[in-house]
Structure 1
Amino acid sequence: MCGIAGYLSKKDIPSEDKDDVLRKMLNKLKHRGPDHLKEFHPSVYVHLGYTRFVINDSQKGNQPFFNEDKKIGCFFNGEIYNYRELKEWLNSRGHKLKSGCDGEVLPHLYEEDGLDFTKKLEGMFAIAIADFRNHKLVLARDRMGEKPLYYSINSRSFLFASSIQPILASNMVSKDLDLQSIAEFFTFRYVPHTNTLIKSIKRLEPASTLILNYETWKISNKVYWKPEMTQPQMISEEKATEELQELLLNSVKLRTETYSNVRIGSSLSGGIDSSAITSLSKSFLKKRSFHSLSVHVKDDPEDLNAIKKVVRKVKTKHHWIDCNTEDIRLLPNIVSLMGDPISAGMIIPSYQCYKEARNKNVRVILTGDGSDELFAGYSGRLIMDGIIKKWDTLDARVRNAYLKEMPSLAEKLKSKLGNPSLSVLERYVAWDDDNCFDLHVREKLLQGTQLAKLDPLIRIRGLEQLTAGVPHENAMLYLELRLRLEGFMLVIQDRTSMACPVECRAPYLDSQIVEFAFKVSPTLKFSRGIEKYILRKAMKETKLLPKEILWRKKHPFSGPISTWMNKLPPNLEFLLTSKVLDKYNFVNSKYVSQIYKAYKISNLDRKTRIKYSDLLFAVLVLTLWLEIFIQNRPVEEFVN
C-alpha cells in the first residue's frame, strides 16, 4: 500500500524547482507510506514518486516497477489479489519478474495488453503507468473505487495524487471553490461522482483509465468495466446460496494470502457482514493468530453482546476501543488527514479502530464494506422502492403481505415516493433516512445563500442515464454503488485507515460478487422481512457463526453525534458562529444559531434531534475543512 503522486509539465519550469515540487507533494503522503519514499525524474517534463507502506516483499518491492527494457514504468497503490496467477502467465510469455510483490506484474501486463491490462486485474488499485515509448501517462482506478486517485490539468501542467493534499501543496493549482460541490455536500453528506470541493481538482472515475499524451497534451478517458445490469435474474434460492458461498470463500481466501509475518485481522461490529468476514478469514488462517477489533460506543450494549458471541465462536484475539464524548477532539486531525470532507459520525470511531490496529502492529484489516449496498442492507431504497413503484399493479393479498413484512412501508406510500413521475435519481435522493439530509431542513439551512438556487443533482444525472432500460432494483443498486459506496463509505474506509496506516481489504467488493449481486433476484436479498437474506443463508451453510448472529437485525453504527454536538469544546463551537460562517456565505448562520440553541436548551423529540445534530455536524466538518485547506490554518489551532 502506498501514496502515489506526480506532475508533468508542458512548458518547462526552472530546474531548481522540479525536485522541490515533487518533494512537497510526497511529503503530504507520508502518513500513507511511512516506510519508504522514492522520487523518479525520467525527464525534465515527467516527475513521479511514491511513499510506501510495506505489506509484501520489503526487500525487492520498492517502486517504480519496470518492464525488461525499462520503457514502461509504474507506480501504484493498492493490492492485486490475483497477481500469482498473472505472474505465472507473464512468465510463460517470457517476462522476467524478480520480486514477490504484486505490483511488479503491472508494467509487464500493460506491455502485453495495452490499455486493456486492467481487465485482467482483481484487486483494489490506483495505478500510474509511464509509457515512455508512446509518450503517455496512463492512470487507472479499480472497479469499485476502493483506492483514490485525483488529478488536475491546466495549460502548463498535469498533476495527480492519492489525495488532494499533495496537489494543493504543489502551489500549481487554483484553490477556487466549486459551489456546486458544496451544494452536493449539503445533500449527500459528501461530494459525489468525479468532483471535489476544489474546482481545479477532479477524482478519476472508478473502473476507468485516463490517458495523457505529454507531447501533444491530449487527454482521453476510457471506462473498462461496468456491471451487467440486464441479465436474467437468478431466482433459485438453493443455486444462489451455493454460488454466493463459493464466491465468498474464494474472495476471502485471495485477500488473506499474505506473508506469514504480517499480522492480519478484521473490524468486527457484530453484524452479519463483518462477522461473516471474520469467521471466514479465521477459517483460512487456522495456524495463525487472527485479530479482531471493535469500537464500543457508550450506552450501546446491543453490539457489545453480539461481538462477544462472535469472538467466543471464532476464537479471535480481540481488542476493544472505547468511543466517548471527548473523542470529538480528534475531528480536526481526521478532517486534515482525510482531504475529502465527509459528514459522518463513523469517521471518528473508524479512525480509532485503525489506530489501535496499527498500535498492535496489525497491518491488514478485512472489512464488511459493500455488503449493505450489494445485498439490500438498506432495504428501503433497493427493495421497498421497487414495491412502491409497482404498488398499483399488486393485488390485495400481496399488498397485505408486504405491509406486514415492512412496517415503514405504509408511511412511505403516503410520502412523495408514491409519485410515479419521480426519476430514478430523484427517488434515490428522496430516501433521506440514511442516505441524504432531510430536504426540508436543508432548504432552511441554505436559504438566502449563494447555494440556495443550485440544483444538487444536475451534474450526476448522467449516472441515471446509464440505468435506462435496467430493472428498477438494479438501477437503484447501481446508483448506490456509484454514489454512496464510492463517494462515502469507501472514502471513510480508505482515508481513516491509511491515516494510521493500516491496509483495509473488502472481500464483498470482489468483481464476481458484485456481478452476482446484479443477477440475483431482489426477493432473495430481502425475504420475509429479513434484509441480506441470501448472505445469511450462505453463511448458515458454513456453520461458522452462532444462530443469533446469522439472523440478527441490522443495527446502524455511528459515533455519538448527538452527544458530541451537545458538548462541543469552545475551539470547535466557535466554528458554528456567524463570525466564521458569514465569511463564506454557504449556510444561513442565523438558522445554524437557531437550531444549535434549540438543540442545546430544548427538549426536542428524538427525530428532530437527529436531524439537527446531523446538519450541525456537517456544518462543523465543512467549516473545519475550509479553515484548514483554504485558509491554511494549522490543525493545532483547533485541538485543545
Structure 2
Amino acid sequence: MCRIYGSFNAGTSDQELRTVAALLRHGGPDAQTFTGKDDWALGNNRLSIMDPEGGEQPYRLGAVTVVFNGELYNHRELAARLEARGHRIPDNCDGSVLPALYVEYGERFAEQLDGMYSVAVMDLREEPKLVIATDESGMKPLYYAWDEADGRFRFASEIPALLGFADVTAEEDEYGLDAYLVSKTPFGDRTMFRGIQVLPPAATAVVGRRGGLSITTRPLGHTTAGPDTARSLAQAGEELRELLAKEVSRLLIADAPVAAITSGGLDSSLVTALAARATDRLHTFNIAYTGNWPSDERAFAAEVAGRAGTVHHQVEVDPATFPDLLADVVWHLGQPNADPITLSTFSLFRAVRDAGFKVALTGDAADELFGGYARMTHAMAAPGGLGWVQEYLDHLSAVPRALRERLYTDEYAGAVRAHGPALPAGLTETLEGGRGSRMRRICAIEQQYRLPSYHLRRVDHLSMASSVEARLPFCQPKVVRFATTLTDEQKINSTGVKRALYAAAGGLVPDSVLNRPKQPFTLPITAMLTPGQALWDVARDALSESALRADGRIRPEVVTGLFDEQATRPSDGASLAIWALMSHQMWRTQFFGAAASRAGFLQGAR
C-alpha cells in the first residue's frame, strides 16, 4: 500500500516533487522516493505491507518504470506465470510483478490484476507515454489535472497533494455545491475543483505527446452476468459463504499485523467471523461515543467478538473532541463528504494504528452489492411507473430537491438550471429505462457511481490518513460478480434485505445480530447536533449569516429556519442538511481561505 504521484510533459522540479511527497507522507511513512527526467516524473510514498525488505519503488525493467498504490492478491500466480516466460521477479513484494506484466501485456496489463490498485507506468521504449490503471471497484482513487492546451498532465492519490504541484491551482467549481447536495459528494469523474478530475473505476488512461489524453473503461465480467433462477436462497447463501471465506483468507495475507473492524452489524460481523476462523488471535475494533447516545452498537460488536474468540478493542471517542477533528477530516478528504461517519471513521483508524496495526479488514460495500439500504426497499415497494425515481434520488442526496429549491438564491438557482444536471449523464437514464429489473438497475448505479465516489474514497482517505490499509472483501471481483447472479428476491423482498448475505451468515454470526433491525453505521448526528453539544456551535459559526451572504448561493434565512427546526424538533432531515452545509463551508474556508466570497461565482455565472 502506498501513495503515488507524478507528471508527464510538465517539467516538474525536484522541489515540487518533495512538496507533493510531504503532503502524502501520512499514507506512506516508510519510504519516499521519486525519479524522472526533464519532462516526466513518478513518485511513491510507501506503507510497507508485503515483503518490507523488498519492493523498493519505483519498479524498473529496462525503459519501463512503474509506481503502484494498493495490494495485488494474485501476485504469486502472476510471478509464476511471468517467470515461466523468462522474466526475473526480484522479490516477493506484490508490486514487483508489474514491470514484467506491463512488458508482456502492454496497455491491457490491468486485465490480469486481482486486487485494489492504482498503477502508473512510464514507457520510454518508443514514443514516451504514461499509462495509468485503476481497479474495478475504485478502491484506490487517483486524481489528475490535464491541461489540454499544452499537454501537461499531473496526478496524485489525494487532492491536497495534487495541489502541491506549482501549476495546479485550487479553483472552486461553483456548481460543485449543487452536485454535492444532490449526491453527498460529486459522482463520476468530477471533483469540487475546476480542472481536477478523478479516474473512474476500471479505467486505463494513456497520455502521450501526440495523442494527448485518452481514457477507456475496461469491460467488467459482472456487467453481463444474469441471475441464476435455478438456485435456491439456501444454496446461494452456502455458495456465498464459501466464496467469502476464500476471499477473506486471501486478504489476511500480509507481512504486517492485520485486524478487523467490527461495527456490530451483519457485514462486518460476517467478515470478522470468517477472519477469526482463518487466523489465530484476530484483533477486532469497534467505535462508540462517550455518553448515552442512540444506536450504540458496542454490545453487538462485543458479542460478535466473543463468539469469534477475538481480542477485542473498544474504542471510545468523546464527542467534545469532534470540533478539533473536523479540520483534519476535511483536509484528508480533499472535498466535502456529507456523511457524519467521517469523524468516526477517522477516529477508528487512528486507534487501529495506535494499537500497532497496519491493515484492517472491513465490511464495506455489502449494502450496494446485496441490497441493504432502506432506499432500495422503498424503491422496490413503489408502484409501477417512474414516480419512484425522484424519491430514490432524494434518498441519495444530502438535501432533497424540495429543500434545495428553497435553499438556493434566485441567482444560483438560475445558474444551476442553465448549467445542467448535477448527476452524471446516464445515471437517471439507467434508473428510468436501463436494462434489467428495477433492482438490478439500482444496484448498477450504486456500484458505478455512489460506491466509489461517496463510500470507497472516504474509507481510503481516512484510513490512509493514519497509515492503515483498509481491505474490503466485498469489493473482491469474484464477490462482485457473484452478487449479480442473485435474483431480486435473494437480495430484497417484503421480509427483509440482503437475504443471501443473511443466509450466508447463519450459524456464524450471533442470532442477536441476525435478528436485530438494520441500522446504518454512522454518527448519531441528529442527537449530537443540538444546542449544548460541541458540534452545534461549530455549525452556527460556519453557517453564519455573513459567511452565507459572502458566498451568495444559499439563503441565510432558510438555514436559520433549519437551525430553529433542529433546536425544537430534531430530525434526520434538518440535521443532515446542516451537517452537509457546515462541511461544505469548512472545506471552502480550508482550501480557499476565510475570505472566499461570491465574486468568483458571480463573474463565472454571468
- TM-score (structure 1 length as normaliser): 0.86
Residue 244 in 1 paired to residue 240 in 2?
Answer: yes
Query: What is the CA-CA distance between 1:387 and the residue it aligns to?
Result: 4.4
Query: What is the CA-CA distance between 1:499 and the residue it aligns to?
Result: 0.6
Match of 1:555 in 2: 519
Cα distance in 1 for residues equivalent to 2:328 and 2:115: 29
Aligned partners of 1:272 and 1:552 also within 8 Å = no
Partner deviation per Cα, 1:590-623 (whole Å, 9 max, x = no partner): 22123224433xx21x4xx221111111111111
Partner deviation per Cα, 1:541-584 (whole Å, 9 max, x = no partner): xx332222233331222113234432337565321112222222
Q: 1:240 to 1:571 in 2, by over 3 A?
A: closer
Match of 1:521 in 2: 487
Query: Counterpart amino acid of 1:619?
Result: L
Identity %, equivalent residues: 27
Partner deviation per Cα, 1:114-136 (whole Å, 9 max, x = no partner): 12211111111111111111311
**1:580 equivalent among 506, 524, 547:** 547
User: Please, which runs of 5 or more residues in structure 1 have no aligned partner?
Assistant: 391-419, 634-640
Query: What is the CA-CA distance between 1:9 and the residue it aligns to?
Result: 2.7
Match of 1:628 in 2: 590
Structural mapping, 1:139-538, within 5 Å: 139-154=132-147, 155-156=149-150, 157-213=152-208, 215-216=209-210, 218-229=212-223, 231-235=225-229, 236-237=231-232, 238-259=234-255, 262-286=256-280, 289-297=281-289, 298-300=292-294, 303-329=297-323, 330-381=325-376, 383-390=377-384, 420-421=385-386, 426=390, 428-430=392-394, 432=395, 435-451=397-413, 453-454=415-416, 457=421, 459-464=423-428, 468-527=434-493, 529-538=495-504
Match of 2:131 in 1: 138
SS in 1 for 2:163: helix
Partner deviation per Cα, 1:60-107 (whole Å, 9 max, x = no partner): 12201122xx21111011101111111111111111011111111111
Query: Counterpart amino acid of 2:558?
Result: Y
Cα distance in 2 for residues equivalent to 1:464 and 1:39: 42
Query: What is the CA-CA distance between 1:389 and the residue it aligns to?
Result: 4.8
Match of 2:563 in 1: 596
Query: Counterpart amino acid of 1:110?
Result: Y
RMSD: 2.2
Q: 1:346 to 1:301 in 2, by over 3 A?
A: closer
**1:116 equivalent among 94, 108, 111:** 108
Cα distance in 1 for residues equivalent to 2:182 and 2:414: 12
Deviates more, 1:245-254 or 1:230-239: 230-239
Q: 1:55 to 1:312 in 2, by over 3 A?
A: same
Q: 1:345 to 1:243 in 2, by over 3 A?
A: same
Query: Counterpart amino acid of 1:576?
Result: L
Residue 615 in 1 paired to residue 569 in 2?
Answer: no
Query: What is the CA-CA distance between 1:459 and the residue it aligns to?
Result: 4.9
Query: Counterpart amino acid of 2:109?
Result: F
User: Please, which runs of 5 or more residues in structure 2 have no aligned partner?
Assistant: 596-606
**1:50 equivalent among 28, 34, 44:** 44
Cα distance in 1 for residues equivalent to 2:382 and 2:99: 50
Query: What is the CA-CA distance between 1:497 and the residue it aligns to?
Result: 0.5
Aligned partners of 2:463 and 2:469 also within 8 Å = yes
Query: Counterpart amino acid of 2:577?
Result: L
Query: What is the CA-CA distance between 1:290 and the residue it aligns to?
Result: 1.2
SS in 1 for 2:484: helix
Cα distance in 2 for residues equivalent to 1:499 and 1:319: 20
Residue 91 in 1 paired to residue 83 in 2?
Answer: yes
Partner deviation per Cα, 1:136-175 (whole Å, 9 max, x = no partner): 1011111011111000111342110001112212131243
Cα distance in 1 for residues equivalent to 2:57 and 2:282: 29
Cα distance in 2 for residues equivalent to 1:571 and 1:531: 37
- TM-score (structure 2 length as normaliser): 0.91
Q: 1:97 to 1:306 in 2, by over 3 A?
A: same
Query: What is the CA-CA distance between 1:453 and the residue it aligns to?
Result: 5.0
